[in-house]
Structures are given as structure tokens and as C-alpha cells.
Structure 1
Amino acid sequence: MATTAGSSSPHRPHADDSPEQSLPGEKVYVAVGREEAESRATLLWALQKFCRGAGAGAASLVLLHVYSPPKFLPLLGARIPAAQVEEQELAAYREMELQTISDTLDQYLLLCAQEKVHAEKLVVESDNVAQGLVDVISEYHITALVMGAASDKHYTKKMKILKSRKARFIEHQADPLCKIWFICKGTLVYCRKAVQLSHEEMQEGKQSSGITHYSVEKSASLSEMWCIANTWLCKSIREPHIQRTTSDPSYISGKDNTKESYDCCDNFQHVLRELESVRQEAYEEKCRREKLERELCEAFQKAQASEILYFQEMKQKNELEEKLTTIMEEIESLTIRTDELCAKLQGEREQRIVPILIVEILSRVRHPNLVTLIGACKDAQALVYEYMPNGSLDDRLACKDNSKPLCWQLRTRIASNICSALIFLHSNKPHSIVHSDLKASNILLDGNNIAKLSGFGVCQILTDQFKARTTLYRYTHPKGSFVYIDPQYLVSGDLTPLSDVYSFGIILLRLLTGRSGFGLLKEVQQAVEKGCLQAILDSSAGEWPAVYAEQLAQVGLKCCDIRRKNRPDLQTEVWTVLEPMLKSASAMLCSLSFKSVSEDLGGVPSYFICPILQDVMRDPLIAADGFTYEAEAIREWLDSSHRTSPMTNLELPHRDLLPNHALRSAIQEWLQTNGD
């Protein structure tokens, strides 16, 4: 509904405005959007206007938000069309947005509660926010609405008309029975009055006789005035006919009532003149409205012309950019030789720096559940790790090469090994280390099926001026399967230790079910909710204890929560669940220990035996005398102030110890072969 020159100026607030008079239980809807400051100012205005000082008749508030699904999604620093994003990722992004909106509305509800005002929230979804508001007004029969009037760039203190397209659309299209206050920066800019009919007027309109009068407020818009004038005009035109057909004794009495008859005629003429005057006013209003519609049509035509001109300019701009690209290619061809020399120098520099970065970083990361770095090959630009004979967890879950399935005891121990390694990395000082590529193929198993993490790659440590919680970042994006990647990392690009927690949750669910990661999270959620978790457990792992399976499933689902703040801490929450399982599973494992092998099986090679402990070595170290000892035994020997060799009794030239990786791998391979 468009305002006209004949309408009175929009209502402006004053310092002495009193609270709006409202009936008890009446609901005032307050439209809030994504701009928190503007929405908060609008809500505070509504609280001041309708709820303060009104006593028992105070209105209740409904916080209304129309959610419009995004056309583009921010992924990895780019805006990707929603049509090109998988349904699962789109649903996850929508859930995060709706959760954010719900949290914001909860803050507004808290503000209302502090003012002792009853309030509730309503979120609806529509492709178009303005049309969605119009539909909600009609569907919920809203009679009072408070909303914004203009964006920040359009607002001025002297503004008296609506600047926002959305506000103008709603002012035209909303149900006429709804009164709308348009607010900007906590100031009333414009108030659209509603067409209100009293109870008496509604009853009189249903009768067959009598004249029904409708009052037209001067601040009403043209559309409202035209609608009311037409209704009143039709009622008035029919009325003389009804009066003439009404039985009236004074009309039949003849000459005795002649004077009264003349008076009735005069009144009738007066009514006709008033009807003619109203008809003329309605006609003039109709003409003004048609004029405004013509002006609106012309404005649309100008907008279309501007759009065409814009596309032409964009075409010219693209042509200029193509020409500029051609020129830049020609310039680039002139500097190829310089670039080649720079690349050659850079390559030589990297060949010298990369091995140094690898002593500096990976050599300091030592843990029983991390793959040991043996060395680096400068010429091949390669890293050399210890040999892991049982391959990756991904291969073992798939029983590749007809390997034996992992029993549930081993799977429980593998989960504990991975958790222990992650706790170690995340608690590194002064900067935490984020693996960022945790997946089943990067978890390797040694000869005793002890799990160790691999796949760190070359990385750098960020300083505090970047992300305070992001301490280790990869040069390339994570190369793992999409199902292991933290959804919030895909949206924001922020990498934190909680990203590893999400990947660990997927691995826990894979250990339980033996299935691939695609769609696994949803399957486990449904199974837990229906109480049929046993139906999806991997039967090849043996009979899972119901309590352990339920606990691992709950931990895995919590680790995979889409919101990082809800994911558990590995050391204080997850490890307290896994540690009792690890002790129980270790006691039940049937694999032979190092000591039992040396006692029960003959034919153990002599060089596998520690000269001090006389037992099969687990972590062999080479001392300065050239002999190899068990790490624990030789360190205890040296810590006891011994300066001589345990074998030759000669003084040791130094106290340094070197890992004997070749012997360690040979011992593990021999134990695996003889243990089976």
C-alpha cells in the first residue's frame, strides 16, 4: 500500500511517549534479523512501548525470524553455490545456521525475562524474507508487528519514509488488519495504521437496514482509504431504498405529517450530497493511486534499463580484462629466463632447508604410539620411518590379503593407543600439535598389533598473532577421506585440536562396526536411538560386551558433534572411559608377551637377548661399547653411576645411546611369526 501526498506525515516518537494501550494476552510480534545491534534496538523499543508501565494489561512478545536458506556457502575461503554442495554438507550448514539463530533468540528471550515480560520465539523458513513475513502475518492473523525500516547506510535522523525494499514490500502487501511500526536505530520512522472494525459496527453491517459508518484515519494509506470508502458508499446507496420500503405510520398518515415528510426529504438530500462528496473524494484517491502505479511502472522500466546498461558495462569490462591478460602473458614471456633462474635457486635452497626443518620438528616428537622417524634422504626428498609389518588399520578392517579379523580386545587397545597419541600431540608445549590428517590408512600396526600414528608430512608452527588455538597447520589441505574432516573446518578454515577429535570419533565408530565412513555417523545415531546397536556391530570381532560397545558408541557420537564446543576433551573425558576397557582387554588378549616367548619357545636367536636382563629385547639401544641392550636396563645401569661397560668392564668413552631399529624390526617380525 503506497502512501500519498494527501496522507498525514508518519508518526514520530517523542520523549514523552506512553506505553501502547493493549488488551491482556495480546501478542506483539517483533521481527528480528541477522544484524544483532539493529534487532536489539528494535526489541528494546518494543519493550518500552508495549510492556513497561502497562501493568496487568501488558502485551506478550513473539520474537519472529524468517530464515532464508543461503544461495552460496563459504567453503575453504570461497563462495560455493548451494546447488553444487552435497546434501549432507548443506544440511549440516543449515543446522549450524539455525542453531546460531536459536542461540541469538535465546539471548533476546533472556533480555525479555529480565524485564519480566513474557516472550516466545518463532522461526519460519522462506526463500524470500519479505514474502515470508507477509505470509506469516496472514497465517497467524498478526495484528501488531514491529520491524526495521532501513539499512544502516540509508538511515538519517530526518528520515520520514521507508528506505528498505523489504519494508516497502511489507507495507504494501501485508494484511490491512495488521498495524506495523517501522523502527530504525531504536527510533520510530513510520507507523502503518490498521483497518479496525468495532463490535457494534460489525453487528450493524450484518443487518438489512441502517447506515453503517466507518472512520478513516488521516494517517491511513491510499489502499485502506479506498477500501473503506467503497464499503461505506455501497452501504449508503442502498440505504434510501431500504428506508422507502420500511413501514412508517407517520409516512402513511397523510397531511398531518407533511412537515415531517419534508424534513425527511431534506435529510435524504443532505445524505445524497454527502455521498456525492465521498464519491468524488474516492475518485480523486483512485486517480492518485493510478498515478503512483504509473510512476512505479516507470521506475521499474528505468531499473530494467539500468540493469541492461550494467550488463553491457560488465561485458566491456570482461573484454578489457581479456586484453589485459594477453598483455600480461606477453610481459611474462619476457621474464621467463629470470623466473627459471629464481626457481633453480629456490630449489637449491629448499634442498638445504627441508631436511633441517624435519630434525627440528619430527625428531622431537617421540611417543610409543607414533611411528618413529629413522632418517631422511636429502636427494630423494623422502622420510624414512620404522617398518610396520601389519600394515594399516584400514587394510586390517577390510581383511586385506586374507588377514585375520581384529578381535574386539585388539580394537579396544587400538582405540586407546590412538587416544594416547593424540593427547600427547595436543598437550605439546609451548604449542599444541594438530595431526590434521587422521584416518584409518594413517594408523599403522606393528608386529604386536600396537597402533601408531603416521602421515604427519612437512608442517609449520603458527605464532600467536594468527589463531590462538591453531598451533600446527599444513601447507596443503587435508588429503584424507571427506568423512574424516571436521565440518566446521570446511566452513571456516580454522584448524584446532578439536578437528582431530572429530576424526577420532569416526575411527571409533569404524572399529565398532567395521564399516566404511560414508553415512556411518547417521547409521550409528539411528541404531543408538532405537536401542539396536548390537545389530550393526562387526560380528567378525567376536562378542562385544554390551556395556563396552554402548560406551564406545556414545563417545564416538559425542566426538563427532557438529559443534566443536560440545566435543569432549580427550584426556579428561575420553581417556577415563577407554582406560578401564584397555586394562580389561589387555588381560584377555591371547597374544604372547615377550617374556613368555623367551621362556616357553626354544630357538630364540642369542642376539635377541639382552645381556643384562637375559630376556627378549623390546627397545634395543646401542651403547658406546658396541653392544646392544634393552633400553630400560642400560639406562638404569648408566643412571646408577656406572662408567664402565656391562660386558667388557672397560670405561665407556661416552654415555650416548643409539636406537637399533634394524634389530628391533627383526625381533618384532620373529615374535609375530613364532607367536602365530
Structure 2
Amino acid sequence: MAMVSSMPATPPQVNPVNSLRDIGVPGIMTSRRKIVNKPSPSMVNDTIYVAVGKNVKSSKSNLIWAIQNSGGRRICILHVHVPAPMIPLMGAKFPASALREEEVQDYHETERLKMYKTLDAYLSICQGMGVRAGKLQIEMDCIEKGIVELISQYGIQKLVMGAASDKYHSRRMTAPRSKKAIYVCEQAPASCHIQFICNGYLIHTRDCSLDIGNVEVAFPMAQQMANSEVGGSPKLRSQSIVQGQNHGIKLTNPAQELFRRVRSVNDGHRRSLASVSDESYGQSGRSPSVFSMCSHSISVEPGLTPNLISDGSENELDLTLNGPFLINKNLHHSASPSVLQEMDGGMDDALYDQLEQAMAEAVNSKRDAYQETVRRGNAEKNAIDAIRRAKTTENLYKEELKLRKEQEEAVEKANEKLNNMKSQTDKVNEELRLALFQNSSLENQIASTELMIKELEQKIISAENLLQNYKDELDDLQIQRDIAVGEAEEFRRKQWEASSSAHKLQCFSEFSFQEIKEATSNFNPSQKIGEGGYGSIFKGILRHAEVAIKMLNRDSTQGPEEFQQEVEVLSKLRHPNIITLIGACPESWTLVYEYLPNGSLEDRLNCKDNSPPLSWQTRIRIATELCSALIFLHSNKPHSIAHGDLKPANILLDANLVSKLSDFGICRILLSCQDSSSNSTTQFWRTDPKGTFVYLDPEFLASGELTPKSDVYSFGIILLRLMTGKPALGIIKEVQYALDAGKLKSILDPFAGDWPFMLAEELVRLALRCCEMNRKSRPDLYPDVWRILEPMRASSGVTNTFQLGSQGLCQPPPYFICPIFLEVMQDPHVAADGFTYEAEAIREWLESGHDTSPRTNSKLAHRHLVPNHTLRHAIQNWLQSH
């Protein structure tokens, strides 16, 4: 007998997302959130979503990491756009609520265009790396909530996002650090596998947890949002009761009724088949066969029927996951062909009719259950639609109330502005009235001022005429002053020549021009040893002694005034480190000094004529000697003396490299002046600056005031030259830079030997202090400079005495030796032959009846003796220093 069953038509498949979106379920599309480029459900499982920010540079490393670790999957750019709450306008920012809606929308549209360009830049990166990519964006006020909502809406299962900003990155970091990453890690659905990246490194992985046996079976995403809108109605919420790892799910609503009815039919059929099988087994002796009713699949509308999970029992429906949504498998029981044949042949007609009737009832029950399910789903959809419309109406009503309130506030503000404008208009009118009154007053003042200007112009013209008269008188007085000064200078010169020669002969010797010519072989160029600002310097033999003769040139910058200045100063000064003035020739403005064979310090620093370089010990001694000479000048009584032209060319060295300060032509005797600001006495001389530019005090150049601190500045430059051997121009900056950079050794003169570094550094710092631009910042030579240099000289193993001879005695200059006694003279006198003798020796020579010279045997012109005070002072100083 043929078995016939009536099967229901297969119900249409419904996409829950599209269906809920069509009926307007909130959460899919709102005025504040815009979702574009929605991925299809089939792409969710095969796509890696990468959360990126609006800064391509900071999110690029995360995207590249995701592409490199995608395993060939598609890439989808996920971005949450946050509209700016503050709108920039006219150089300031205003809240969106304070601006017109059109302005806010225009600015937000501009932001969206920038956002689209940013996403295109990410897509270009993917395209450049040969990866298929799409983009998914949402607009919300919170980035982390937007990411969680996108995960929930689209059932995203693989997500890559940043763990923290690059500045917080650490290789030891094992968990997300940013608030966004922490929120997504905690709030995202458990089905999403999230990898947190920072600076190209995987920091943390949150695995998905989908234990279907222990997790509540929920509706698809759209149904959940529908339930949330309804408010948790039992008719719209899926209930699952977990009874163990392999227990079934209790079914409710129409699906439960359908399952119960099908199960009862199957149980009846099984009982019938069991009796038939027992009879057949007893009749034929064969083992019983399992008989299953064959039925077609029942398809339940997804999203409107609870999720069903089979525990393996044959008494329940078998439902599985198909993609992201739940559908049922074919519910059937297959009947063995052999059993059916036995049933067809051995079963009576009544039993077969019952079986056929039961099968028909089961089919009808399935159809009725499905139709009931569809009806309930439509009712739920209608309910959701009604709720949505109600909420829409409520929102429109609230918006209308808000607009009405805003309009009322706008009217109140307009009225207030109108009142303010009225008061401001009254105020402006009052100010205008006052301005007109002030304008009238100003016009009157201008008229009176113009009259005063005319009167002042007349006075100015008169004053200019008077000033011109004064200028003419001043010019006449200036001419008369110049004439008087010239006459006074001439008178002073004549008076010096006529009346003060006797006094000066007591201090130094006076030579005739003829003697000068003979001493220099008529100024033979071969005997010329130097050239200075005053004139030429010759080496000569004068009265049987080696001397240095400095003669004024016609084109010299110095003249009789400098000649007299040097004679006046050097005739009164005696110091071991100041050159000795032997005599002068007023007739030719010529000065005669002791001869110093080693030339100037400038020559020795430049190793002129291949002379050996000075050792660092000798340089320290020379600096100490120069300091001693300057202290002697500055402490002179009753007035200090400033040299004014201190430089290595004016420092001469004798045979034992003892330094002698020379060239006092522009030195000045300083005057004392009370300084009211510091209640101290300042010594200075106001004059036109002269000398070598690189050694001159900057304040002296600016003010014309020569002070002892001017010599301190020049001393600092000389000290730097002794240390480095470099030219004076720019030496201060060069040494300061080397000292600051820790490269002091690189600028020390290597020809001086191995400088002790600590000593050299102290000397350099002392020299830089002496070279300060402000003279008040410079140290005093005594005691500040002296107490540093003198211990250095003593510790360097160099004394201030002449070098010892072969007999161990100090070698005095030859002109200190008496030609008769052959000893250092104590009371030198000049005889008629021009030679200097010890007074006791020459008197004994003359008293013994001799009338000839002890040196030349020529007859003496007279028997008078003249004391040589200059030489006696020089000998006494030499004896005291030794």
C-alpha cells in the first residue's frame, strides 16, 4: 500500500537585519549615527576588521600588522567618527548649541569629507600591499561605544585595534593601556576575537568564548535590539535553560507546541510499529527492524523563533547554526525499505490505515505550528513597528517643544537686545553731544596753539641768531686757545732747554748729537735694531758701553711732548723690570737706553731669527715680572702712572731673558676723582686713545678715560698670548670657546713644553677675567693677580735672578763694572772722558797726579766729576733684587 503525506510549502527565508531595518527598529539608523558600506553576513567570518583613527600616521602600523597577519583574509577598515562638539569660528571655538544649525551642519559635513579622505588613504595602503579591503564607519559621540556597537550589529568575530598610544608603548606591556582599548576589551561581545596592537607589536589577545552548551542561546542581533525596544517582553525574548553539558533546551511558544505534537505522533507510531515488529518477529524469527517516519524539513523563520539546540536525542528537533543566524535541520526518520515491505505484506489494513492517519495528523500539526509561528512573528513585527512609530511621535513632540522653547528664548533675547540697543543709542547720542562740545573746545585750543607756535617760531629765529653769534665767538676763543697752548708749549720747551738742564743732568746724562752720530756710525742701517711709533732704534757704543738709541723720525706719530713725557717719567722711576734710561740728547729728541740683546717679547713669541721658543716656566716668570712692574707704576706716589701702550713689542728681554717694560711716550700720570656712586676715589686721565688697537681697553676707546684697569686689560691679552702663542686679534673668543668645550689643551702653545693642565687652566681663567669688557669686573693686579702668579713662578722652579755663570756668581751688566776697580760700582761718576767710574777710584786716579783718561790715555779736558744718579739707582735696584 502506497504511503502518501501532505507537506507544507517551504517558508520564505528572512534576513533579520534587513527585516528589522525595514520596520524601523531603533539602533540600526538614527539621526546621530550613520552607517555606510555595510558588509554582508557572509563576509563577517572571513574578514578581519581593523579599528583605525583619524590620524593615518599613528594607525598605519596597526593596519600593516593586520595585513601581514591576515592569512589571506579580507580587510575591513573600521572607523568611528566623532563630530566636533566645539565649532571654530572667527579665530575662536563655540559650542554647537550656540550656533545656527546650518553652520554646524556645514562644519560637520566638512569633517565627514576629511574622514572619507582619511579612509581612502587607509584603503590605498591596503591596495598598495595587494589586499582586498572595504570600509565601515559609524558616527557617534564616543569612539569606544561605537566600536562595541559595530561589533554587536554585524557580529564581528575578528578585530584588530590599538592598545595604547606610541608614547606609552613598552615591550613589557601585556595589557591594553588606553581607556578605549580597556572599554572594548571589557564590553565587546564574547564572540569577538580581539587583538590589541601597539607600535607594530601584539600586546594582548582577547579570545572569543562561544561555549554553546553553557551559554544562553540568544536571538540574532536585530531580534535583541527589538527586544530591548519592547522592554523585555517574554513573547519577544529567547529563554534557554542550561541543564548540563549534553541536556536539551526547553522550548517555549509555538515551537514547543510543535515539538510536543510531533513527538506524540512519533511515540504513537513507534508503539504501533513496536507491536507489529514483535508480531513479525514472533512469526518469522527475524530480528526487529527500526522504523522511522519520513518527513520533510520544517523551516522556522529566523529571528522570530527561539534557538533550538539538539542534545543528540531522537525525540527532539535538530537545529544548527547557519552562518550568523539559526535555522533548523531536516527533521525526519528514515524507514527501512525492508521493514516497509514487511509492513506492506504482513500488516492488516486497519493497522496501516491508523499509521497513515497518524502521519497525516503529524504533517497537519507541523503545518499548523508553522502558520502559528508566522502569525506570531507578524504580530511581533507589528508591535515593534507600533512602538517605533510611538517613539518617533514622542521624539517629534519633544523636538517641537524644544523648538518652541528656543523660539521663545530667541524672542526674549531679541527684546533684550532691542532694549540694550535703545540704551546704547541714548548713550551714543550723549557721547556725541559731549564730543561736539569737546570738538568746539579743541578748535579754540588749536587756534590759541597756532598763535603760540608763531610766537615760538619768532623766538627760535632769535635764538638761532644768538647761537650763531655764540658759535662765532667760540671759534675765535678756540683759535686764541690754540695759539696760547702753542705758545705755552714753546715756552715750556725753551724753559726745559734753558733752565732745567742742570737739574736733569743730576738724574741722567745728556749727550750731544755728535756723540749720537758717532755711536750709531752716522745712523748706519746695519745697526738699526727696531722701529716703533716714536722712531727708529739703533744699537751703538756710547762712551765705551753698548746702548740702545731711539731717535725721533720726522714722520713719527709722537713728538717733543712724548719725548719730554718719557724723560720725565723714566728719570724718576727705578725698577728691575722697567728699562733704564741712561741719557738723552734734547738737540735731536733722542733717548739712550741700556741695551737688551734678546729683543722684544713679540720677537721671541714669533721665534724671530730662529731663536728658540720660550719655555712655559720662562713665560710664567715674564708674566710675573710684568705684573710686578705694573703694580709699581699703579702704586706710584703721589699719582699713579698708567702705561697706556702695553704690548709684547714694548716688553724687552735682556741676556738672561729678564723682561723690561719700555716705551713710556704715551704714559699718563693719573688724576684722582671722587666717585659719588661708590664713595671711592677713581684715578683716570681723559685723552684721545692711542696705541695698538687689539691691546687697548674697550672702555678706554669708548670714553677716552685711561685708568689702571686699562693696563689690566692689555695684561690679560699678553697673558693669553704667552699661553697660546696665537695672534691677539680674536684670541679672547677663541680661548673662551676652547675652555667651555673642554678643549683647553688644544690651544696651548706646544712649543712651550708640557703645560701643567691645572696651572694652565687657572692662568687662562685669570687672563679672561682681566679681559672683561666691564672694567669694574676686572681684578686688581695687587693682590688678586699677584697672589696667583707669584706662587706659580716659585713653584715652577724659576727665580727672578739672573742665571749663574761658570763660577756660580751673578753676571751684572758690563756698564755696572768700574773700569778701574773691575767691581760693581756703588757711587758711579762721569769723568771728562765720558766714561763712568767708581767715585773713589777716579778720585784716587786724579789725586795721584794723572791728567789722562784711564781708558783712552788721552788728556782730560778738566778734572770735574759728575754723579751718574741714573746708573747708581739701576745698580742699587739690581743689587737689591739679587
Alignment TM-score, normalising by the size of structure 2:
0.36
Which fold has the larger relative contact order, with Cα–Cα distance below 8 Å and residues 6 or more apart in sequence?
1
The structure that has the greater radius of gyration is 2
Q: TM-score, normalised by structure 1?
A: 0.45
